[in-house]
């Protein structure tokens, strides 16, 4: 159950384009909040809400140094979601292979 909750939080964190942009920016290096979000053109409370979603999902870590808030991508933060998607892809590829085989057999039966 706990894994499902974290998986839900991870997908929710990635569901919004601003949060995805923050994740993409932080992939290259640690940044201040201003560096990571300064040009989004949204209010500070809105940025705070997006950052909170990312933090609750475990995608980012905030380090406070005096008045400076630095953000960094949490190592391995999205691995569980990636593993889940990989598993789902494998399931669907097997199902499609069965359907493809069935269709090929049906086509072979109809040929004179």
Q: In this structure, are residues 59 and 23 in contact, taking their beta carbons and an 8 Å threshold?
A: yes
pTM value is 0.75
Identify the pLDDT of residue 2: 53
What topology is assigned to 1-74 in CATH?
A: Arc Repressor Mutant, subunit A (1.10.10)
pLDDT at 93 over 70: yes
User: Taking the C-alpha atoms of 13, 19, 21 and 24 in order, what is their torsion angle to the nearest 10 degrees?
Assistant: -40
Give, to the nearest 10 degrees, the angle between helix 44-56 and helix 2-13: 150
For 38-74, write each residue's pLDDT tens digit. Answer: 899 999 999 999 999 999 999 999 999 999 999 999 8
Identify the pLDDT of residue 112: 61
Phi, psi torsion values for 42, nearest 5 degrees: -125, 165
For 25-42, write each residue's pLDDT tens digit. Answer: 999 999 999 999 989 999
């Amino acid at each position: 159950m706990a894994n499902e909750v974290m998986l839900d939080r991870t997908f929710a964190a990635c569901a919004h384009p601003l949060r995805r942009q923050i994740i993409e920016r932080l992939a290259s290096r640690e940044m201040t909040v201003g560096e990571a979000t300064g040009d989004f053109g949204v209010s500070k409370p809105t940025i705070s809400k997006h950052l909170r979603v990312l933090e609750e999902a475990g995608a980012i870590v905030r380090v406070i140094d005096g008045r400076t808030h630095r953000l960094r991508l949490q190592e391995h933060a999205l691995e569980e979601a990636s593993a889940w998607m990989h598993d789902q892809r494998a399931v669907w590829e097997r199902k499609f292979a069965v359907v493809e085989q069935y269709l090929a057999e049906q086509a072979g039966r109809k040929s004179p």
